[in-house]
Amino acid sequence: MGRDSRYDILFEPVQIGPVTAPNRFYQVPHCTGMGWQYPRTLAAMRKVKAQGGWGVICTEYNSIHPSSDDLPHPYASLWDDSDVRAHTLMTDAVHEYGSLAGAELWYGGANSNNLFSRLPSMDVDSRPNTKGHPYQTRAMDKQDIRDLRRWHRKAAVRARDAGFDVVYVYATHGYLISNFLHPRVNTRSDEYGGSLENRVRLTRELIQETKDAVGDRCAVAVRFSADEEIGEDGQPIYGERREMFEMLSDLPDLWDINIADYSVEMGVSRFTKEAALEPYMHWVKSVTDKPVVTVGRFTSPDTMVSQVRRGVTDFIGAARPSIADPYLPKKIEEGRLSAIRECIGCNVCYASDTIGVPIRCTQNPTMGEEWRKGWHPEIIRKKSSDARVLIVGAGAAGLEAARALGVRGYDVLLAEASSELGGRVSREAALPGMSEYIRVKDYREQQLIEMPNVEIYRESPLTVDDILAVEADHVAIATGATWRKEYFDEERFVPVAEGAVLSRVFTPDDIMDGKLPDGPTLVFDGDGYYMASVIAEKIRAQGHAVTLVTPSDSVSDWAGKTSERWRIRTHLLRLGVEVLPSKSLKRFDGEIAELDCTYGGPSVTVPVANIVMVTARKPNDCLYRGLLGRMSPEDLPFSLRRIGDCDAPAIIAAAIYAGHRYARELDEAVDEDIPLKHDRVDVGQQPI
Residue-wise pLDDT for 558-578, tens only, equals: 999 999 999 999 999 999 999
What pLDDT is stored for residue 16 in this prediction?
Answer: 98
Give the pLDDT confidence of 639-662 residue by residue, as tens digits. 999 999 999 999 999 999 999 999
List, as one string, the DSSP characters of 407-462.
HHT-EEEEE-SSSSS-THHHHHHTSTT-GGGHHHHHHHHHHHHT-TTEEEESS---
How do residues 595-637 score in pLDDT, each as one tens digit?
A: 999 999 999 999 999 999 999 999 999 999 999 999 999 999 9
DSSP 474: E
Query: Choosing from 175, 192, 238, 443, which is the catalytic residue?
Result: 175
Q: Look at residue 672 and tell me whether its pLDDT is greater than 90.
A: no
Instruction: Supply the pLDDT for residue 636.
Output: 96
Crossing angle (nearest 10°) for helices 531-541 and 565-575: 20
Per-residue pLDDT, 682: 73
Q: b vs e for 187-196, b when ≥16 Cβ sit within 10 Å of the residue's Cβ?
A: ebeeebbeee
> Predicted confidence band at 93 (pLDDT cuts at 50, 70, 90)?
very high
Residue 669 is predicted with a pLDDT of 86
Residue 683 has pLDDT above 80, yes or no: no
pLDDT above 70 covers what percent of the chain?
Answer: 99
- Report the mean per-residue pLDDT for the chain: 96
Average pLDDT over residues 88-100: 98
Could you give the angle at the alpha carbon of 571 between the alpha carbons of 567 and 572, nearest 5°? 120
Mean local confidence (pLDDT), 75-83 = 96
Relative to beta strand 604-607, strand 592-597 is: antiparallel
**Whether the Cβ atoms of residue 366 and residue 376 lie closer than 8 Å to each other:** yes
Q: Which residues pair with 63 in a beta bridge?
A: 77, 106
pLDDT tier at 685, thresholds 50, 70, 90 = low
Residue 10 pLDDT: 98
Residue 514 CB partners (closer than 8 Å, separation 6+): none
Residues in a beta bridge with 605? 594
pLDDT surpassing 90 at residue 133: yes
Which residue blocks in 299-437 are alpha helix, DSSP H? 301-309, 320-324, 328-333, 348-355, 396-408, 424-429
| pLDDT for position 686 | 61
Model pLDDT, residue 687: 55
Could you tell me if 520 and 649 are in contact, meaning their C-beta atoms sit under 8 angstroms apart? Answer: no
Cα(479)–Cα(418) distance, integer angstroms: 11
Average of per-residue pLDDT across 227-245: 93
Cα separation, 179 vs 173, in Å, equals 9
- Name which of 188-192, 458-462, 632-636 the model is least confident about: 632-636
Ranges of beta strands (E only) in 17-112 are 19-21, 25-27, 56-63, 76-77, 100-106
Q: Name the pLDDT band for 688 (thresholds 50, 70, 90).
A: low
- Residue 517 contacts residue 546 (beta carbons within 8 Å): no
pLDDT classification of 124: cutoffs 50, 70, 90:
very high
pLDDT-above-90 percentage for the chain: 95
Confidence of residue 25 (pLDDT cuts 50, 70, 90): very high
Domains of the chain, start order: 5-355 (3.20.20.70), 388-480+620-665 (3.40.50.720), 483-617 (3.50.50.60)
At 406, the pLDDT band (50, 70, 90 cuts) reads very high
**What's the farthest any 2 CA atoms get from each other in the chain?**
83
Residue type, 599: Y
Of 629, 664, 674, give the one whose Cα is nearest residue 643.
Answer: 664
Residue 175 known to be catalytic = yes
